[in-house]
A and B are shown apart, each in its own frame.
Chain A
Amino acid sequence: MANVISDETIDYVGILAKLELSDEEKEQAKKDLEEMLDYIDKLGELDTENVEPMSHVFPVENVFREDVVTNGDDRDNILKNAPEEKDGMFVVPSTF
């Protein structure tokens, strides 16, 4: 079964992935995605009707602790990595 990725689908994936693709990149992405999905379709050969999906190999449980702060205030150091900052806050372009 050959997968066909439409223009709409690749635009939608771009929105989900928060990526802006040029027309050339879009064509390449369609081709790559089709090829990978054709390959992944191989999993369809297996009967998994009564199989429980396994997200973790070990049983994982929620780990609880008291809500106590153990790390100090490192605001100034953290802000040093910010592309832009002002008065102890991150600056971003207009949000609307």
Chain B
Amino acid sequence: MDLLHYTATELGEKIKAKEVSVKEATEAVLDRIGETEEQYHCYVTLDKEGALKKAEEVQKGIDDGTLTSPLAGVPVAIKDNMCTEGMLTTCSSKILGNFVPTYTSEAVKKLEAAGAVILGKTNMDEFAMGSTTETSAFGPTKNPWNTEHVPGGSSGGSAAAVAAEECYYALGSDTGGSIRQPASYCGVVGMKPTYGTVSRYGLIAYGSSLDQIGPLGKDVRDIATVLEAIAGHDSKDSTSIERKDTDFTSALIDDVKGMKIGIPRDYFAKGIDADVKDRVLAASKVLEEKGAILEEFDLPLVEYAIPTYYTIADAEASSNLERFDGVKYGFRAEDCEELHQMYKRSRSQGFGPEVKRRIMLGSFVLSSGYYDAYYLKALKVKALIKKGFDEAFSKYDMILGPCAPTTAPRLGESLSDPMKMYLGDIYTISVNLAGLPGISLPCGTDANGLPVGLQLIGNIFEEKKLIKAAYAYEQARGAFSIDSVKEAH
């Protein structure tokens, strides 16, 4: 079998059993990147030398028994909004185009401690603001299933790199669907854990009350394994949560008997592609045949999630992005005569249109005279949305639905109409507002051969239920990759 087809945990086992060396695996994936990267553009920064050097170090650690993690020696890609000491971290923005952090984000540090080999930093929507990876200042990533389509976003580079076998797994971040939606578009698995499960220390902030780091990988076992490695309380993140139940791999059990799954009627109502609806409902039937109990119900306030989200996320973004002012790091506009002119020009020239749009809306909804009408109102609706989920989870173990209303749109079709792009986030966004965990995994392809994503949403701290159901579905579905789907046709 081609070395590149292994999942991350399979490769980890082969490395442990000395059937494959870390160097061989790293070289194989670097060769793959050399062949296909020009076509897909998954990465902003590649660190070949660093990866090969690290591969040697890690091999020594495995050989002398100090590195025992299932991920030891497995090459990984990191979304370019997580700080990596000594390695360019741009957020796919001109304003951070030359920024080299002096420290490493906590989630990446945990992977390093497990013996991960970091290949480089993946492309994304600028500051994670977008749903297609087209707002990147360094050009879009292409969907490896069909390069005329977007990979989704904002973690589009991470999702595409996994699908294209340009890495074995990747880290992404999810503020309104930015892990789950690109996973759906690229036919890979992606999970956003409960807010506070993974430290945000070193993650360049977008909407701090919504941002969470999570894994993207080839199968559910990889997702559980990576999440187990990066989860944990961190005193450097004031919203980090102490929890003892992060042994996520213990939930890899093929058993959904008696599990109660709620299916929101509104998630299948208007605006959804017929193929997406069909594949997702077919996936629900698979779980039913395995013993799960399905029930349709009315989840309230679905149509209010998007306006609530954009008010809150943009308000937080306008505050978080104030730090980019041309003083301490990043881009500074030339020939400025005084300080405020320098701030304004550096920001105006350094940020792209979507980022500016969100900073302006955020500044507006927080301004005196409008704060109560917009920002405070959105925080109240957020409370109502959370209450709606609380009621649903008093009846159901999880909620099942699509990840996005459509499969991956064509390149160039989304940015001209931001409102339409925002509407594509309808099924993912409320999960962030309520702090819930959600997983997306492939459940087939549409008529054009593009992957469809199944989304499972759990109550807070109930990742294990999602992992269990996703694993059970995956066992019934069988292999799903670009190669396996093409072979089947």
* Interface residues of A, Cβ cutoff 8 Å to B: 9, 12-14, 16-21, 25, 29, 32-33, 35-37, 39-40, 42-44, 46, 48, 51-58, 60, 63, 65, 74, 77-78, 80-84, 90, 92-96
B339 close to A58 (CB less than 8 A): no
Question: Given that A19-B356, A57-B195 are known contacts, is A40 also in contact with B310, CB under 8 Å in the complex?
Answer: yes
- Please tell me if the beta carbons of B344 and A43 are within 8 angstroms of each other in the complex: no
Other-chain residue from B310, B322, B337, B347 in contact with A93 (beta carbon distance below 8 A): B337
Inter-chain CA distance A90–B104, complex, in Å, is 23
Contact A81 B378 (CB under 8 A): no
Measured between beta carbons, the chain A residues less than 8 angstroms from B376 are: 53
- Contact between B307 and A42, CB atoms less than 8 A apart: yes
User: Residue on A with the closest CB to B312?
Assistant: A55
B264 within 8 A of A: no
Q: How far is the CA of A43 from the CA of B360 in the complex (A)?
A: 20
Q: Within 8 Å of chain A (Cβ to Cβ): is B241?
A: yes
Decide yes or no whether B482 CB sits under 8 A from chain A. no
Residue of B nearest to A32 (CB): B357
A13 touches B360 (CB 8 A): yes
For the complex of A and B, the 10 pairs showing the least CB-CB separation, nearest first, are A57-B435, A53-B379, A83-B332, A81-B329, A48-B380, A54-B383, A16-B363, A20-B344, A17-B363, A51-B380
Chain B 349-367 interface mask (CB, 8 Å, partner A; 1/0): 0010000110111111111
B304 beta carbon closer than 8 Å to chain A:
yes
Report the separation of the CA atoms of residues A5 and B442 in the bound assembly, to the nearest whole angstrom: 43
> In whole angstroms, what is the CA distance A28 to B382 when docked?
29
- Report yes or no: B326 in contact with A83, Cβ–Cβ below 8 A: yes
Q: How far is the CB of B154 from chain A (nearest CB, A)?
A: 19
Quick check: is B84 within 8 A (CB to CB) of the other chain?
no
In the bound complex, do residue A63 and residue B383 qualify as a contact, i.e. CB atoms below 8 Å apart?
A: no
> Nearest Cβ distance between residue B289 and chain A, in whole angstroms?
35
Chain B neighbourhood of A39, CB < 8 A: 306-307, 419
Tell yes or no: B418 within 8 A of A by CB. Answer: yes
In chain B, what residue has the closest Cβ to A85?
B328
Q: Which of B307, B345, B348 contacts A43 (CB 8 A)?
A: B307
Closest Cβ of chain B: how far from A86's Cβ, in Å? 13
Q: Across the interface, which residues of B come within 8 angstroms of A20, CB to CB? A: 341, 344-345, 347-348
Tell me, in angstroms, the Cα distance from A96 to B340 when the chains sit together: 9
Q: A17-B318, A40-B310, A54-B379 in contact; A46/B360 too (CB < 8 A)?
A: no
Interface size on B, residues (CB 8 A): 69
If A32-B418, A56-B239, A93-B342 touch, does A17 touch B381 (CB 8 Å cutoff)? Answer: no
Known contacts A13-B364, A93-B339, A53 near B383 by CB under 8 Å: yes
A93 CB contacts on chain B under 8 angstroms: 336-339, 341-342
Chain B residues lying within 8 Å of A43, measured Cβ to Cβ, are: 304, 307-308, 311, 377-378, 381
Q: Which residues of A contact B332 (CB under 8 A)?
A: 83-84
Q: In the complex the two chains form, is A19's CB within 8 Å of B359's CB? A: yes
Question: Smallest distance from the beta carbon of A59 to chain B beta carbons, Å?
Answer: 11
| Closest chain A residue to B364, Cβ basis | A13
* Cα(A51)–Cα(B196), bound, Å: 24
Given contacts A32-B418, A42-B303, A60-B238, 18 further A-B contacts (CB under 8 A): A13-B360, A13-B363, A29-B357, A32-B361, A43-B307, A43-B377, A46-B381, A48-B381, A54-B379, A54-B383, A57-B386, A58-B195, A63-B238, A81-B328, A82-B327, A82-B328, A90-B327, A93-B338
Residues of A within 8 A of B356 (CB): 17, 19, 25, 29
- Interface: B343 (CB within 8 A): yes
Of the listed residues A18, A37, A95, the one surrounded by the most CB atoms of chain B closer than 10 A to its CB is A18
Q: Determine the chain B residues whose CB is within 8 A of the CB of A84 once the complex forms.
A: 332
Could you list 12 A-B pairs, sorted by A, with CB under 8 Å?
A17-B360, A35-B419, A36-B361, A46-B301, A48-B380, A53-B376, A57-B209, A57-B386, A58-B435, A58-B460, A82-B329, A94-B338
The reply to whether the CB of B274 lies closer than 8 angstroms to some CB of chain A is: no
Taking A46-B304, A52-B380, A55-B379 as contacts, is the C-beta distance between A19 and B360 under 8 angstroms?
yes
